[in-house]
Structure 1
Amino acid sequence: MKPLPETVPFFSQWETPDMTSAVLADGADAALRRDPLWQGSGARTLDEYALWAANICGMACLKMILAMRGQIVPTIELARRCTGYGGYVVTGGSIKGLIYAPFVSFVKAEFGLEAQVMTNVATSDIAAILRQSRFFIASVSSSIRWPEREPPSKGGHLVLVMSASDEGFRFHNPSGHTRATQANAVLVPADFDCFFANRGIAVAI
């Protein structure tokens, strides 16, 4: 078996990683229609890309995990396939998801990944989870990109946690707005806890 790389590849949920500031300023629909790399997402049309890209943080996390095994699958292709298992519910121009239990079935069936929905998870539990599973996809506030700010709520966004200790949590944030808040972002446990919704998905590879 080919050895896994030491570093985890980073992928944004938009094809152009620097789009986050524009999304925040102009809204996802308007900003993402200006993404010159949108076709790399696997979307069939620009309309499909603009609809999905703001909702696929979980698929970006999955893309990073699969890339560890040398599999590069476009995010919206992943989302489309996950929808077939019930991981997303699409009604007109509205998308509900990621729904965790169907996601677990999806990654098992399609990629042979072992995953487990985790609830009532304390921040202090994550290190132990990572000792059993390679990754933890954590539900956090998207405001985690601004760790100095008090978030309006917890949850609603997903990041890929790769290591956790008393010194800090290291994670990839698919919608970070700077390089420091995208790949290998680090927060001390108390700061991570401010954004963490005490749930997520453990994934082994």
Structure 2
Amino acid sequence: MIPPFFGQWESAGRIGEILSGALAAEDDPLWPRSGAAGAADYARWADHLCGVACLRMVLAARGITPPRAFDLAREITARGGYVVQPDGAIRGLIYAPAVTWLREAVRLPAEVRVDVAATDVPALVGEGGLFIASVHPWIRWPERVPPARGGHLVLVFGATGGALRLNNPSGDTPASQRDMRMPVEIFARFYAGRGIALRGA
């Protein structure tokens, strides 16, 4: 089953415009739905909420109604999953506090995984497993060679015919957002070898 899609920005159909700069994040007409304190708060945080979007997709995939994006972000921040630096920079999603939240708050069997080869990811998502994987944001453009690996999170939820199936919270088109299918060898180009794994339901 394909998990419901949640984007980092509330207007999923306009993420491409936000990423290109054609639409300012604070002008996203659906921002009030996020639970943000205001449009500026929304714009400041949304760039960092790929992890929250993935957690919301995990909850929905397991039949749990997810909180609003900013309600969940505040909960995870209170547990140390996001850290606001003295200069205002936002660090996170930090895996260990997020895993603790998954285990304690919603009773889902989650664990931090590191040094996981791309070729091992299909086994992680077999039999209903889910994997929040660290990738470069350019994964939305599989034809490109990224300058690095990691820095963004996507939800891998299946594998078929040598390709991984994933939902990408910052996909800029419908095809790159929900059930994007990517050969393992291409995924490896973007993938940092780490993430959060959940066993099958």
Q: Which bin holds the TM-score, normalised by the shorter protein?
A: over 0.9
**CA spacing shift, 1:132–1:167, aligned 2, 3 Å:** closer
Which residue type is aligned with residue 74 of structure 1? R
Which residue type is aligned with residue 196 of structure 1? Y
The within-5 A match list for 1:46-85 is 46-68=39-61, 69-85=63-79
Does the 8 A contact of 1:119 with 1:198 survive in 2?
Answer: yes
Matched residue SS, 2:113: strand
Looking at structure 1, the residues matched to 128 and 116 of structure 2 have their Cα atoms a distance apart, in angstroms, of 14
Matched residue SS, 2:24: helix
Number of aligned positions between the proteins: 198
1:138 maps to 133
Looking at structure 1, the residues matched to 194 and 92 of structure 2 have their Cα atoms a distance apart, in angstroms, of 14
Q: TM-score, normalised by structure 2?
A: 0.92
Which residue type is aligned with residue 90 of structure 2? I
Q: What percentage of aligned pairs have identical amino acids?
A: 44
Looking at structure 1, the residues matched to 125 and 176 of structure 2 have their Cα atoms a distance apart, in angstroms, of 21
State the Cα RMSD in Å: 1.7
Task: Report how far residue 132 of structure 1 moved.
Answer: 6.7
Aligned partner of 2:36 among 36, 43, 54: 43
1:95 maps to 90
Which residue type is aligned with residue 90 of structure 1? V
The within-5 A match list for 1:1-205 is 6-26=1-21, 31-68=24-61, 69-91=63-85, 93-131=88-126, 134-204=129-199, 205=201
Task: Report how far residue 186 of structure 1 moved.
Answer: 0.6
Task: Report how far residue 133 of structure 1 moved.
Answer: 6.2
Task: Report how far residue 166 of structure 1 moved.
Answer: 4.9
Does the 8 A contact of 1:107 with 1:113 survive in 2?
Answer: yes
Question: Runs of 5+ in structure 2 lacking a partner?
Answer: none
Looking at structure 1, the residues matched to 174 and 140 of structure 2 have their Cα atoms a distance apart, in angstroms, of 11
Task: Report how far residue 70 of structure 1 moved.
Answer: 3.8
Question: Runs of 5+ in structure 1 lacking a partner?
Answer: 1-5
Which residue type is aligned with residue 36 of structure 1? P
Task: Report how far residue 18 of structure 1 moved.
Answer: 2.5
Looking at structure 1, the residues matched to 18 and 55 of structure 2 have their Cα atoms a distance apart, in angstroms, of 22
Does the 8 A contact of 1:121 with 1:199 survive in 2?
Answer: yes
